[in-house]
Amino acid sequence: MKLYSINTGYFKLDGGAMFGVVPKTIWNKLNPADENNLCSWALRCLLIEDGNRLILVDNGNGDKQDAKFFSHYYLHGDETLSKSLARYGFHPDDITDAFLTHLHFDHCGGSIVRESGKLVPAFKNATYWSNARHWDWAVHPNDREKASFLEENILPIEASGRLKFILPGSEIAPGKLTSSFFTENISVRFVNGHTESMMLPQINYNGTTIVFMADLFPSHAHIPIPYVMAYDMFPMTTMNEKKMFLSEAVEHNYILFFEHDPKYECCNVQQTEKGIRAKDFFTLDQV
């Protein structure tokens, strides 16, 4: 097995929204805002090469929305999904599995592209993985969250016939589920605070455990328990999920892989007098 960090660029989001009840006087030291109170965030994905499978975990914003839509998010940086794949000798057509942690636009926007006026899968040879509970949540969105669930990112996946669901209920049980997605090296955690049934891949790699944190921990700055995004549907659930995960991560020395951290790809965590905090920072290729 080989793992690759895939950078698809950066975007900006309101700092207050990203840190919830935490005052700006505190969070601004962690990720300084610009004059519009916007902070820069990564759109970092994970590529897993496992035997004859090439699994891409999330895929960034994509580029099919109009200029008005993207003007709210200030996309920047020179990296794209295709460029990052090419750096390792891969092409989008090589992807065998597109794993979607959840269906918010900044995680699944690259799933679908516009070709000759039609919306078609960006990964022509891939199976797309979600789960039934989250899929239903996304295609019948609540008023608060529906701006993050864009039909053009989601419905064409189902229409393509390439959509499959992972079954919840046996998380962190490698090889024990009936779904063909699972291998002896990959399992999936289900969490519900940010959105219904978000999935976090957990990977056994080089003698250690790496967890793709998606939006449970968007960045290392979100490790303290109260640092919960205003975007989260159920903040208290998020806090409880963070507590449980961090205790486990300290005990087993898990590596956290961050999707949105603008500076750090990975860290492990340790118990301190202030609670559990980041210990060492490193890149994926240093694991």
What's the CATH code of the domain at 129?
3.60.15.10
> How many domains, in total, are found in the chain?
1
C-alpha torsion angle, residues 187, 19, 46, 63 (rounded to 10) = 130
- Give per-residue pLDDT as tens, 165-203: 998 654 433 334 434 455 678 989 999 999 999 999 999
Q: Is residue 247 part of a domain?
A: no
Q: Is residue 230 in some structural domain?
A: no
Please tell me whether the overall predicted TM-score, pTM, comes out greater than 0.85 for this model.
Answer: yes
Please report whether residue 8 resides in a domain. yes
Does residue 257 lie within any of the structural domains? Answer: no
Q: Residues 5-56: pLDDT tens digits?
A: 999 999 999 999 999 999 999 999 999 999 999 999 999 999 999 999 999 9
Q: What are phi and psi of 70, to 5 degrees?
A: -70, -20
Domain that holds residue 175: 2-207
Q: Is 241 among the domain residues?
A: no
Q: What distance in Å separates the CA atoms of residue 203 and residue 210, rounded to the nearest whole number?
A: 5
171-201 burial, b at 16+ Cβ within 10 Å, e below that, comes to: beebeebeeebbbeebbbbbbbbbbbbbbbb
- Judged by DSSP in three states, 113 sits in strand
The structure tokens listed for 147 are 């701006």
Question: Does residue 239 form part of some domain?
Answer: no
Give me the residues paired with residue 12 across strands.
40
What pLDDT, in 10s, does the model give residues 241-283?
A: 999 999 999 999 999 999 999 999 999 999 999 999 999 999 9
| Domain-located, residue 138 | yes
Whether residue 155 is contained in a domain is answered as yes
